[in-house]
A = this chain, B = another copy of it.
Amino acid sequence: MAVDFSERLRDIQRAKRTAVCIGLDPDPRRLPEHLAQGLDPAAAVVAFNRAVIEATAPIAAAYKLNLAFFEALGAGGWNAIEATLRAMPEDVLTIADGKRGDIGHSANFYARAVFELQGFDACTVSGYMGRDSVTPFLDYEGRAAFLLARTSNPGGADFQDLVCDGEPLFERVVRTAAAWEAGRPGTLGFVAGAVDDRPLRRIRTAAPVAPLLIPGVGAQGGDARAVMRAAGEGPVLVNSTRSIIYASGAPDFAEAAAREAEALRVLLEAARP
């Protein structure tokens, strides 16, 4: 397998024909009842994640663990991350979705935690604090940081769409950050929401070959075609979370998750330009 993160992603996608990233946001209150019974919340989360991973692994290119949900488990959260990562097969990538962003000295410690201790392949990073908050994550060969560009949440437009020196802030972030990757190819990607495909197209133009992590496409996938066209030829991961992992609350939750993931996979592959 190639060393470069982008290359690894391409290899996996070529072999498995999938752009699907499955988000693991395990809320103890939303787990299937039969599964959670008798287990403490962290153990229930691990059992849930394992079942989802086992059922969906052939369909998934990557899994994204939302660190907020693990931190809310308290002391058991760290071990739940480790146990979840141990359940991952070889041919998927793992993303720590923590959106860290701090001064260089602190960023070094965050990078060490997600890459060296936990062993994730990639993580999400917030760039508000500028270059020294991002570059420590680019120092790991074969790993990658997905920098927040344009997000699709309700507040995404509050600052990201502000026009700064003639261009939207999110585009400025992408163009500025692209230069930070110099000498460390394949280590920098971007998070680009799927709600509107116009920002996505601008991000792809500013960063033609960067991996894009695209949340916001549900299994219903109304805009999957527009998203895949806008994302162009560069490597793409399309994340879906709740519509997959909570597709059923019954004992068939893992099979239901696999069905939803497969539906999304087919939709995205059909929509490849």
Contacts and interface: CB of A to CB of B under 8 A. Distances in A.
Interface of A: 25, 27, 66, 68-69, 71-72, 74-75, 77-79, 82, 97, 99-107, 109-110, 112-113, 117, 126-134, 148, 151, 153-160, 162-165, 169, 172-173, 176
B72 A103 contact: no
B72 A113 contact: yes
25 contacts: A25-B106, A66-B102, A68-B107, A69-B109, A71-B113, A72-B117, A74-B113, A75-B75, A99-B129, A101-B101, A103-B151, A104-B153, A104-B155, A127-B158, A127-B159, A130-B153, A130-B154, A130-B156, A130-B160, A131-B158, A132-B154, A132-B155, A159-B169, A163-B165, A164-B169
- Copies of this chain in the oligomer: 2
B151 A129 contact: yes
A68 B159 contact: no
B74 A78 contact: yes
A208 B109 CA distance: 34
Most buried by B among A69, A97, A99: A99
Contact of A128 (B82, B106, B159): B159
A257 B201 CA distance: 53
